[in-house]
Amino acid sequence: MRNFLLLICWLPIAVIADDAPRARDLGIPFDGTPGPLNAITDVSGVTVGHSTVIEDYGNGSAARTGVTAILPRGEDSIMLPVFSGTAVLNGAGEMTGTIWVEASGFLEGPVMITTTQSVGMVFEETIKWRVNHADRDVTGYAWSDPVVAETWGGRLNDEDGFHVRPEHVVEAIETAKSGPLAEGNVGGGTGMVCYQFKCGIGTASRVVATVDGEFTVGVLVQANYGWREILQIAGAPVGREIPVAQVADIRTPMDDEMGSIIVVIATDAPLLPHQLKRVATRAGLGIARVGGMASNGSGDIFIAFSTANPQELRAGTNLSVRMLGNEHLTPVFSGAVLATEEAIVNALVAARTMTGFEGRTIEAIDHEALRAALRKYNRLQGSE
Amino acid sequence: MRNFLLLICWLPIAVIADDAPRARDLGIPFDGTPGPLNAITDVSGVTVGHSTVIEDYGNGSAARTGVTAILPRGEDSIMLPVFSGTAVLNGAGEMTGTIWVEASGFLEGPVMITTTQSVGMVFEETIKWRVNHADRDVTGYAWSDPVVAETWGGRLNDEDGFHVRPEHVVEAIETAKSGPLAEGNVGGGTGMVCYQFKCGIGTASRVVATVDGEFTVGVLVQANYGWREILQIAGAPVGREIPVAQVADIRTPMDDEMGSIIVVIATDAPLLPHQLKRVATRAGLGIARVGGMASNGSGDIFIAFSTANPQELRAGTNLSVRMLGNEHLTPVFSGAVLATEEAIVNALVAARTMTGFEGRTIEAIDHEALRAALRKYNRLQGSE
Amino acid sequence: MRNFLLLICWLPIAVIADDAPRARDLGIPFDGTPGPLNAITDVSGVTVGHSTVIEDYGNGSAARTGVTAILPRGEDSIMLPVFSGTAVLNGAGEMTGTIWVEASGFLEGPVMITTTQSVGMVFEETIKWRVNHADRDVTGYAWSDPVVAETWGGRLNDEDGFHVRPEHVVEAIETAKSGPLAEGNVGGGTGMVCYQFKCGIGTASRVVATVDGEFTVGVLVQANYGWREILQIAGAPVGREIPVAQVADIRTPMDDEMGSIIVVIATDAPLLPHQLKRVATRAGLGIARVGGMASNGSGDIFIAFSTANPQELRAGTNLSVRMLGNEHLTPVFSGAVLATEEAIVNALVAARTMTGFEGRTIEAIDHEALRAALRKYNRLQGSE
Amino acid sequence: MRNFLLLICWLPIAVIADDAPRARDLGIPFDGTPGPLNAITDVSGVTVGHSTVIEDYGNGSAARTGVTAILPRGEDSIMLPVFSGTAVLNGAGEMTGTIWVEASGFLEGPVMITTTQSVGMVFEETIKWRVNHADRDVTGYAWSDPVVAETWGGRLNDEDGFHVRPEHVVEAIETAKSGPLAEGNVGGGTGMVCYQFKCGIGTASRVVATVDGEFTVGVLVQANYGWREILQIAGAPVGREIPVAQVADIRTPMDDEMGSIIVVIATDAPLLPHQLKRVATRAGLGIARVGGMASNGSGDIFIAFSTANPQELRAGTNLSVRMLGNEHLTPVFSGAVLATEEAIVNALVAARTMTGFEGRTIEAIDHEALRAALRKYNRLQGSE
């Protein structure tokens, strides 16, 4: 009976997501209440676009990369910043633009995510796109310090080929939309690997109740970190249950060092910049729930923003902004932790086995093996 | 056969610890290799002292508090600082002295932990003890900005009675010793509560292998945070398996907000201050492994120090210091995460049911109920 | 006999303090427009109280110390926090409570300033005063992590005598008032020395014009830093024009290291916490205008707060707060720089020659010598 | 024809730059002892290269921009990082790579400085140059997160034309050399303006004495901030003595907001990363000595590095590093303050009047007017 009810609940989600199962569809239990799409786009106004670059050039050279764009206010993001804050768990990575986010309290424009060697290209093209598509803003200028983040896709992508081109940046921005999102091997996440499984982009959301009503916290991750042994899902040590095959071992002596994860947290709760900085910090707790430990070479960098307060707040006069009292923040914090956790697992579950640069193949996690591991630890829903 | 071997391993630990079982003794699995004592005192030179204040004054007024002192270099801590770094996960609490630790890179003197309302007393008496016990140091002055941290013990302790007295500060410092440590309702942890169970002081350690040889990472926590539902141990959702009894519910509407945890991380790895700051940050990942989410009212504040480089480094000349290369830090990070996790569980397991201020009773976690919950999720060692 | 001497000592202070010239009265030019009192109390609602402790105990032992309390909202400060932010130029000092200010964005209660060894006492007594004078606040608790800052008064004050007593803390808080303020050898600044001249408390303000109307920026400093050669006033190198007399040289080899300055910046401009952090940072620029270089041993720690938004912002619902747009912040920043500069010079000008601990005498700056030095560099107003 | 004009334009620059007076040559007094070149290249091993882009495209479109590269260890910078730390006075700007500098304590590769819209190009080309010129380093990887900083050159440069091209990046890196440096309208500073005078690149150095011997502190700035009224040189209010001519007024309503300054501080003192962060912070005090107040729109971003400890410190074993004790840091701090101050004035003095984008002309400071202003305030050396 329970199974039947759950099936009704899950079916639409599965259908929407191009028939690919998401983590919940496999019976993985998560805490908290997701939004309708269980995606960052549950936060009204947020749009996401992917440009996926999969090209083969012969002799093992291959592009397995791309660009993901998150627009806090959709097209209005060009002219209308959002309050924002950032946090760093381990800083072996890049997110440009954070010095200004921290000083101003504003994220101006989109958050762009790509592979390591393409940060410069994406930075430049994002500015050019801005220059070509809008006038100077109310401050008399136009943002020119975009937020561009990266993780290192070099296992599957020929990083030194610099295969992200201007048109990919434009595609990511211009195809950004609300609604259900693709996960796994898409956009900036195309070539990414986590826990030695194929990984990439994942998303999730939580609806949280406060005295000021319900708010949504949505998360999108580009996950590319961790070694197999430490992977835990729903608390179960599944990494050890699905060990890395000797033949397929892709680890190099310093492989642990190259992991990274970018976490983007959106909310419609009316938070001020210093509150959003606290929200961003919670991403680290979500990573830890999947076993992550932030190795020396990991760039674990987070940004949170609020879509509330959609007036011009930089040069306006006699401004008034809505604010959620600190005493009511805890549900937002918990939502950020839990949505980060689920977004990572969604990235793992959605990714597909991929062969790329130098003919290297990274296997996706086997869904049945994962379910078996969870069942062993009594953590598979609908399997009693 | 496995059980027999484990028994040999566990027995000495149990005997040493006053016969009270620690988390491992209950069959809780943890990752990594602990040091001989599985305590912060596995880091050579570190000493710890507790002063426990349990007094009843009638009419429900009661002291359930105390002071814990961690001396990085034992008695030499007076004159010889250690490299140190700090981190804050959520800042609703106090750790004095951190501005100077961050600027100088040095922890000068002990780390003191107590209850919220006694920070001032402990601060003043720690300086007085310093003034009374040693000359000016090599810099021509004497440290006078001690590190004093707190969590709020007001559920069991009459906070506004300010019951920590000067002699308690002296006792904590002067009884500090190496070797096995008391856990649970002792020292600064006397009145503390976590996950709505009685809690307090806990400790653990990890021995980590690097190219420069083995190092020890030891952790001591004063844990006082979290609501029941989120408690997970060894990944199992044990909090939900041992719900808060309706009759005994001790939560107030804002009870979630009052939690805090202080984490002290010691290592003999030769780390520089900026590396120790990164180690301190990892405490948050250990907290997350036990389900912690850092609520708005939680003071989650961490300090890490290295006992390596025991020369005078402030005013000396032509100094040379040992350093572990960044590329070899990951095992130290993992050790800090795992020892923090286990120290928290040790605090929960060691604590005993306590009745205190206003006649309020906080129950300790029932060891058999905990084992049953772990067994349900196939996470009890020696129970196959 | 000693009491008689003390009486003689106090009387002139009181008299002088009423008719005492301030920096502007000497013809020193400053930029910007001060408020009516040229004091932090030009910011409506801010009150300041001093408790000055001048006692002699024979054998050279002497108290030259005290406590200064700044209440952001006067008596309402007990229950109603202000938005706040902090900054550190050099961290060789203490300001308790900053971890919570940074996380919450709120300063709850007063800012207390004293001498180094009395931080613990002032911390404890400020909490006790809070406990004794008000109920729990709207959050269900009461602030218990006060902001207590210090500079080191050991040249004139017997620091290890711990001469600040509970009644001095109460006096500073309870005598706090708006209106003109005493400067120089008062309150926490009683024993302080800057640029090897007697120094102490100083204050100043600026009225700044923005598109949202005029706002006031008020500053109070406790100044205790710097060696003679680097002192510049109105840009003129006056320190070199009034060199330290050989006979009276009070420098020890490490004297440069012991300086510190606490800067408190109040404004009625409606600034959010992240904006106030930026305002606090500007104090360092004001110090540099007087020649300060932030030596290794200097605790240069700053806090800024806004008295705007006087509603309960922690636990309230559907909150709305006023905000000054970033594009209009520059005048507030400039006001903070300029008022800090003048407050330091006011502290120097108001201080009086003092003899204290171990019979040591620190000379005040000679006003005529200062005027002569300024005249030499064509920087004396009204003297052409 | 256009080429001919350009030739005429370039020739005088080269000639002037050789015989051009620097600030000291004009009789401006500065404190402290400079190194032989009074340049960042006084720090042994540091090399600097400029690529200057001055091109006219008709219809007012014009490039007045370029790239400056500072290589901490000359060619060895490719493989051998330096200890480093960063600081932000006001964050309205970009310096990429700082998240990793702060986490790792290392600056890997050069510091690149350019104009705002060219950060992406310089970022990408710096990586490409690295890929093309060296193998993976000892860590198994190659730095790919270069430090690229900017100030906004849009008054004289057609920013949205993105005129920095790949060859300019290569030129800046490959022409880097030790010895005397060009200042003013060169490299990244080509189009910059400060205090409404033509400005650009400036450099200076200080030799400081410590118990461990003499060390050199060298500074290079790209200065582009400030309005006329606040300019002070050697403490004299020279900005008011040389007011902005009404006819030539180049201010727009928000012109104050667009200023920025990048400060690069090199030293051979053996400083650890947390000490270098403190050194970087001092740049703000140097800016304040020239009257700077860090307006809302100013990107005042600083990086300091130490060329000491030239061994491989990332992946090496049993490492030992030299360190200067904290108690001996003050002279290094003072040197950083004073060299920053002089480098800014050198940039002002070296710059030449320039006409650029949209036919706009920015006048250089008139050396005789400057001397007259200094003489008025008795601050001209050799003029008594």
Residue B382 has pLDDT above 50, yes or no: yes
In tens, the pLDDT along D157-175 reads 999 999 999 999 999 999 9
CB contact under 8 A, A285 and B294: yes
State residue D77's pLDDT score. Answer: 95
Average pLDDT over residues B274-279: 98
A207 touching B (Cβ < 8 Å): no
Q: Is the pLDDT of residue C14 over 80?
A: no
- Characterise D226 by phi-psi region: left (phi > 0), alpha (psi -120 to 50), beta (else): left
Q: Which chains touch C (3 or more CB pairs under 8 A)?
A: A, B, D
Minimal Cα distance from D87: which residue of A?
Answer: A99
CA B321 to chain A, closest CA, distance in angstroms equals 21
Whether the Cβ atoms of residue B91 and residue B146 lie closer than 8 Å to each other: no
| CA B125 and chain centroid, separation | 21
Segment D64-82 mean pLDDT: 97
Half-sphere exposure of C71 (CA within 13 A, CB side): 24
Q: Token pair of D275, please?
A: 């000490």
Residue C1 reports pLDDT greater than 60: no
d(CA C191, CA C185): 7
Those residues whose C-beta lies under 8 Å from the C-beta of residue C215, and which sit 6 or more positions away, are C207, C208, C267, C268, C269, C324, C332, C335
Question: By three-state DSSP, how is residue C249 classified?
Answer: coil
Is the Cβ pair B274, D273 closer than 8 Å? yes
Report how far residue C327's alpha carbon sits from residue C212's, in angstroms, rounded to the nearest whole number: 11
Structure confidence by residue, pLDDT tens digits, A305-352: 999 999 999 999 999 999 999 999 999 999 999 999 999 999 999 999
pLDDT for position D19: 67
Binary contact (B376, A376; C-beta < 8 A): no
Using CB atoms within 10 Å of the CB of residue C229, give its burial: 0 to 12 exposed, 13 to 18 middle, 19+ buried.
middle
What secondary structure does DSSP assign to B205-266, as a single string?
Answer: EEEEEETTEEEEEEEEEEEE---GGG--BTTB-HHHHSPPPSTT----TTGGGG-EEEEEEE
Which among A84, A118, A178, A298 is annotated as catalytic? A298
Residues in chain C closer than 8 A to D330 (CB atoms):
256-257, 293, 295-297
CATH topology of domain D23-312+321-375: L-amino peptidase D-ALA esterase/amidase (3.60.70)
Active site residue D44: no
Q: Which of A383, A302, A326 is nearest to A89 (CA)?
A: A302
Q: How confident is the model at residue D258 (pLDDT cuts 50, 70, 90)?
A: low
Q: What is the pLDDT of residue D382?
A: 81
Residues of D in contact with B322 (CB under 8 A): 318-320
Can you read off the two tokens belonging to residue C360?
Answer: 């040591």
- For residue C296, give the nearest of D89, D281, D333 by CB distance: D333
Catalytic residue among D51, D260, D295, D306: D260
* Bridge pairing between strands B106-107 and B82-91: antiparallel
Using alpha carbons, select from B94, B72, B74 the residue that is nearest to residue B83. B72
Q: Report how far residue D37's alpha carbon sits from residue A70's, in angstroms, rounded to the nearest whole number.
A: 49
pLDDT digits over C115-169, tens only? 999 999 999 999 999 999 888 888 877 889 999 999 999 999 999 999 999 999 9
Closest CA to A180 of A19, A2, A328, A351: A19
**Chain A residues with beta carbon closer than 8 angstroms to that of B251:** none
Does any CB of chain A come closer than 8 Å to the CB of residue D65?
Answer: no
Taking CB atoms and an 8 Å limit, are C121 and B120 in contact across chains? Answer: yes
Does the active-site annotation cover A260? yes
The answer to whether B115 and C317 are in contact (CB under 8 A) is no
CA D363 vs CA B346, D194, D198, D248, D256: distances in Å: 71, 11, 6, 9, 17
How many angstroms from the chain centroid is the CA of residue A184? Answer: 10
Q: Which of B317, B328, B329, B330 to mutate to test the interface with D (most CBs of D within 10 A)?
A: B317
- pLDDT of B18 reads 53
Percent of chain C, pLDDT > 70? Answer: 91
Q: Residue A249's Cα: distance from chain center in Å?
A: 26
In this complex, is the C-beta atom of B342 within 8 Å of any C-beta atom belonging to chain A? no
Say whether D278 and B318 touch across the interface (CB within 8 A).
Answer: no
User: Which residue in D106, D315, D326 is closest to B314 by CB distance?
Assistant: D326
Q: Which residues pair with C287 in a beta bridge?
A: none
Q: What is the mean pLDDT of residues D329-342?
A: 97
- Which of D103, D211, D323 comes nearest B278 by C-beta? D103
The average confidence (pLDDT) of chain D is: 91
Interchain contact C125–B (C-beta under 8 A): yes
**Cα–Cα distance for residue pair D166/A260, rounded to 1 Å:** 29
Any A CB within 8 A of C132 CB: no
Chain C residues whose CB is inside 8 A of the D293 CB are 282, 285, 330, 333-334, 337
Instruction: Flag whether residue A213 sits within 8 Å of chain D, measured between CB atoms.
Output: no
Q: What is the share, in percent, of chain D residues with pLDDT greater than 70? A: 91
Six-digit token string for D230: 């606040």
- Interacting residues of B264 by C-beta distance below 8 A, sequence separation 6+: B40, B70, B111, B113, B219, B220, B221, B302, B303, B304
Whether chain D has a CB inside 8 Å of the CB on A98: the answer is yes
What's the pLDDT band for B257 if we cut at 50, 70, 90?
A: low
A residues 30-49 near B, CB within 8 Å? 31
Of A116, A128, A257, the CB nearest to D144: A116
B120 shares contact with chain C (CB less than 8 Å): yes
Domain ranges (residues) in chain A: 23-312+321-375
What is the spatial distance between Cα B204 and Cα B25, in angstroms, rounded to a whole number? 13
User: How many A/D residue pairs have CB atoms within 8 Å?
Assistant: 114
Q: Which two tokens stand for residue B20?
A: 């009270």
Confidence at residue B247, expressed as pLDDT on a 0 to 100 scale: 41
Average pLDDT over residues B203-222: 97
| Tokens read off for D153 | 């050159």
CA dihedral D75, D77, D78, D82 (to 10 degrees): 170
| A12 pLDDT higher than 90 | no
Among residues B316, C282, B74, the alpha carbon closest in space to that of D292 is found at C282
What secondary structure letter does DSSP report for C361?
Answer: E
Cα–Cα distance, A261 to A344 (Å, whole number): 9
Q: What six digits make up the tokens of A209?
A: 């109740």
Helix (H) or strand (E) holding C168: helix C166-174
Q: What's the whole-number average pLDDT of chain A?
A: 91
pLDDT at D66 over 50: yes
Percent helix, strand, coil in chain B (nearest 5)? 35, 25, 40
**Model confidence over C95-114: pLDDT tens digits?**
999 999 999 999 999 999 99
Chains A, B: CB pairs < 8 Å: 102
Q: What's the rounded Cα separation, in Å, for the pair B51 and B41?
A: 17
Q: What is the DSSP string of B129-170?
A: HHHHH----TTSS-----EEEEE--TTTS-GGG----HHHHH
DSSP codes of every residue in D162-181? ----HHHHHHHHHT-BSS--
pLDDT of residue D383: 55
State the Cα angle at C225 between C219 and C228, rounded to 5°. 120
Mean pLDDT, range C276-304, rounded to an integer: 97
**Average pLDDT value for residue range C262-270:** 98
List residues bridging with D209 in a β-sheet. D214
- Which of C281, C323, C329 is best to mutate for the A interface (most A CBs within 10 A)? C323
The pLDDT of residue B258 is 64
Cα–Cα distance list, C74 to C49, C70, C108, C175 (Å): 10, 8, 12, 10
pLDDT above 90 covers a percentage of chain A that reads: 85
Q: Looking at residues D8-14, what average pLDDT do you find?
A: 35
Binned at pLDDT 50, 70 and 90, residue A18 comes out as: low
Chain C positions in Cβ-Cβ contact with residue B144 (cut-off 8 Å): 116-117, 152, 159
How many angstroms separate the CA of residue A237 from the nearest CA in chain D? 30
Amino acid at B327: E
Q: What is the predicted ipTM?
A: 0.93
Range with lowest mean pLDDT among B298-302, C220-224, D10-14:
D10-14
Contact B202, B345 (CB under 8 A): yes
Give the A window 146-165 contacts with D, CB below 8 Å: 152, 159-160, 162
Terminal C-alpha separation, chain B: 12
**Residue-level pLDDT at A33:** 97
Whether D106 shows a pLDDT value over 80: the answer reads: yes
How many residue contacts between A and C have a Cβ separation below 8 Å? 83
The reply to whether D212 touches chain B by the CB within 8 Å rule is yes
The span from the CA of D380 to the CA of D234, in Å, is 9
- The Cα–Cα gap between A348 and A366 comes to 10
What is the set of active-site residues of C?
Answer: 260, 298, 300
Contact flag B127-C117 (C-beta cutoff 8 Å): yes
pLDDT in tens, C40-70: 999 999 999 999 999 999 888 999 999 999 9
Gap from C236 CA to chain D (nearest CA, Å): 6
pTM: 0.95
State chain C's mean pLDDT as an integer: 91
Please indicate if any CB of chain D lies within 8 Å of the CB of C257. Answer: yes
Nearest Cβ partner for C294 among D90, D256, D285: D285
Angle at B142 between CA B136 and CA B147, to 5 degrees: 150
Question: What are the residues facing B319 on neighbouring strands?
Answer: D323
- pLDDT bracket for residue D256 (50, 70, 90): low
Asked if A105 has any chain C CB less than 8 Å from its own CB, the reply is yes
Chains that touch B (3 or more CB pairs under 8 A): A, C, D
> Considering CB atoms only, which of A127, A139, A253 is closest to D120?
A127
Rounded Cα–Cα distance for residues C228 and D289 (Å) = 17
Predicted confidence band of residue B244 (pLDDT cuts 50, 70, 90): confident
**CA nearest neighbour of B52 among B138, B171, B194:** B171
- Chain C touched by A361 (CB under 8 Å): no
**What pairs with residue A198 in β-bridges?**
A193
Cα–Cα distance for residue pair A161/D354, rounded to 1 Å: 40
Separation in Å, CA A123 to CA A78, A116, C148, D260: 15, 12, 44, 20
Of A190, A195, A187, nearest to A258 by C-alpha is A195
**In 3D, which of A216, A223, A225, A184 has the Cα closest to residue A50?**
A184
Residues A198-235: pLDDT tens digits? 999 999 999 999 999 999 999 999 999 999 999 999 99
Lowest average pLDDT, out of A37-46, B60-69, C245-254, D203-212, goes to C245-254
Q: Which of A225, A221, A230 is nearest to A259 (CA)?
A: A225
pLDDT score of D235: 97
Burial of A148-172, coded b for 16+ CB within 10 Å and e otherwise, reads bbbbbbbbbbbbbbbbbbeebbbbb
D314 has a chain B CB within 8 A of its CB:
yes
Pick the closest to residue D257 from A138, A274, C234, C267 (CA basis): A138
Determine contact, residues A333/B293, Cβ cutoff 8 Å.
yes
Pair A145, A97: CB distance under 8 Å: yes
Residues of A in contact with D96 (CB under 8 A): 94, 96, 119
Reported in sequence order, the residue ranges of A20-94 that DSSP labels E, i.e. its strands, are 47-58, 61-71, 82-91
CB-based contact A319 C323, cutoff 8 Å: yes
Q: What are phi and psi of A60, to 5 degrees?
A: 85, -10
| Contact status of B114 with chain C (Cβ, < 8 Å) | no
Across the range A64-68, mean pLDDT stands at 98
| Catalytic residue list of B | 260, 298, 300
pLDDT for res A273: 98
Token readout for A108 is: 């101006």
Question: What is chain B's mean pLDDT, rounded?
Answer: 91
